[in-house]
Each structure stands twice: as structure tokens, then as C-alpha cells.
Structure 1
Amino acid sequence: MSRGFVKEDDQEEIPMIPPRADLPEGMTNYVTQVGMDELLTEKEMFINEISQLEIANEKERRIAVNFINAKLQLLSNRIATSKIVALDKQPQNEIRFGALVTLKIEKETELQQYQIVGVDEADISKGKISFISPIARILINKKVGEQTVLKLATEDRIFEIISIEY
């Protein structure tokens, strides 16, 4: 049937779904085991959310379910493409995916600590940075005692690697 013969009231709203964290096309979706556990917990949360919806109006319920299902589909695709990296298999003396790195940044007296993680588990407030971030990229393959430079628009920032843990 042509859309011209559909009443406006019968049309469903297409839910606007916020995208997941950016992962460039063709790039492997690396995750730590903790990251995978978080993704699976999030999936369970969405499934439970659907089963616990208390919306009497059928149209509103259908819209809410469609919204959750759309988010669930994005999440399921991310889980399906995830590759768990075993941290105990990483070279312990080099910075690689999953490393918890302690850094001295230029003249700052306080040390900074970051863990290099997957795009979905990255959270700077928890000291977790994505493996595709500029800082992670300059740190990969470095060892304790080495320095590396992050080129910014107005300055170069020097990072010295103090320790590496997995």
C-alpha cells in the first residue's frame, strides 16, 4: 500500500538511537574480559528493561520496545565483533592493549595512570582510555623509562613511562 493512504496517526515514530562509541570501519573491536563482562551485563539490562516495561498505552509501549530493541541490536553487533585480549598473554615489559600505565607528564609532579582498553569500556574519569585514542597510540610498544611525544596544536607534550602492569 502506498504511504499516501496511511493515516498520520497510524505512523510509528522511528526511534533516534544514540550511536555507540566510535570504532573506525575495518578495525578489530578489542576488549578486555572486564569490558566483555560489562557489555554482557548491559545486554541483560536491556532485556530486563523490555520485560519490566509498565506502559498501558499499546502504541507507547511499542515505541519504547522498538527503542530498546534498536539499542540492543547495536550492542549485540558490538558484542558479536568483539575480540577478548588475554592480558596475561601480553608482553609484560611493553605497553600493549590492556596495560595499566603509570606516566609522568612533562613537569607535572603528580603521576597519571591510564589503562588502554576497548572503545566501549573507555572512560577517562576511571582512567581508561581507548586503544584508538592519540595517547594510547603513542604509548603502544613503549617500555619503562622511555619517553614519547604527543603533538598538540599549540605544544608538544612529553610522556615518560614509569611503570607497566597487566
Structure 2
Amino acid sequence: MPSGKVHDAVNTILTFAAVPVGYRLGFSAEDLTLFALGSLFATFYLSPDLDLEGTRPVRRWGRLAFIWRPYSALMPHRGVSHYPFLGILTRLGYLFVVFSLLWAMVVGTLHYFGLSPPNLNLRALWEPDVWVPFSVGALFADTLHIFLDWAQSRLKRPRRRRR
């Protein structure tokens, strides 16, 4: 498999190369910005390699890295996490569930002490104009990662000689 640095570099370069192509194809600057943000977030924080402890993507989460331990216990390396489309969906879904549980704990604790949680208006995040380009960017990064792993594995296999 390519190193994490190779994955990061290739994904970053191709993300920034895709933006002007998308612009030439008529996509809006807002859509392309969300696409690039989704791709870079998936490259650096939602990598398929979150199923391995101690990897760069796990370490990037800092003190929140612990949230990925159950995920790595449930997902064998190069299993579902390395399936196109399904892999990024599992990580986005997992992250949504974890943050929902953490937010519920914060709200419950605040209510216990008679405090009100902050009024966060996150409704805009659920608008298709926001999550679709972001998700397509995340899928783009995930697909690049999986393709690089596949290509490296194919190149390393010894070729059978024909007689």
C-alpha cells in the first residue's frame, strides 16, 4: 500500500486539479468549494485507514482519536472500509452517530445542571446544496485512496510467466 504521505499528496493534488476542471464544466464556485472541502476532509480525517490504530488519519483527530477505536474493532482492514461508496458511507454514518451521542450527552449534562444548550442552527448542513457537493468530494477522495491501494497491490504481484 502507498504510504499515508503518498495518499495525502495524490489526493490533495488531484482535488486541486479537479476544481478548475469542474469550473470549466460549469459547476459553481460554491459547489466546487464544498467539493474541495469534502475531499480534503475525507483525505485527512476520514481515510479508509481509520480502521488501523496509530495511522496518521487517526492521530490527526488528536484527543478525539478514541472515537475511532470501536470503528477499527468492527472493521477489518481492507474490508468494507475499502469498498468504493460503501466505505465512505460507513465512516460518515459512524461519525454522525458518534457526534449525535456526544451532543446528547452534552445536552443531558447541561439540563441536569439547569443550563440550556447553545442554539446551534445546523439546518443549512442538511440542505442538498451543501451536503451533495461535500459528499461527492469525500467520495472522490475515498475512491482515489482505494484506487491507489489497488494499483499498488497489482504492481507488487509477481506476474506468472507464460509457457
**After TM superposition, is the score higher than 0.5?**
no
What is the TM-score normalised by the length of structure 2? 0.28
Give the structure, 1 or 2, with the largest relative contact order (CA under 8 Å, sep 6 or more).
2
Higher strand share: 1
Q: Which has the higher helix share?
A: 2
